[in-house]
Amino acid sequence: MFPASVLTITARGRLSRGGELMKAYELLFFVAPTIDEENRIATMKRIETTIAESNGVIDNVDEWGKRKLAYEINGLNEGSYTLIDFHTDPQNIAELDRVLRINDFVERHMIVARSDRD
């Protein structure tokens, strides 16, 4: 992560790092509620590392806990949800998506650009 002196906010409120604009994104994912704490923490660490390696900034991590699914997914009726707000360069989203797809513990995920937080 970058020190606060390197990150600036542009006139439109977007984070900028050395002239490179970083857009705001929201990542929502869930894991099976039955996985052990060690694997859940390792999954979170991998996601945080991927965002940090692409010079992104994590703004907020919100653990939603167990929630009932609208329909059964991979034999699961509930999932343990996490919401992450972050800023990164748009070119880095594909790599984050790839990491989430190959992670055995992430059942589903969704990355959304947040224009209201740019």
Write down all domains in the chain, each with its CATH number in brackets.
23-117 (3.30.70.60)
pLDDT value of position 117: 62
pLDDT value of position 5: 46
In the predicted model, residues of the chain with pLDDT beneath 50 are: 1, 5, 11
CA–CA separation, 70 and 67 (whole Å): 9
Q: CB under 8 Å, gap of 24 or more: what pairs does 12-20 form?
A: 12/118, 13/117, 13/118, 14/87, 14/118, 15/57, 15/87, 17/55, 20/89
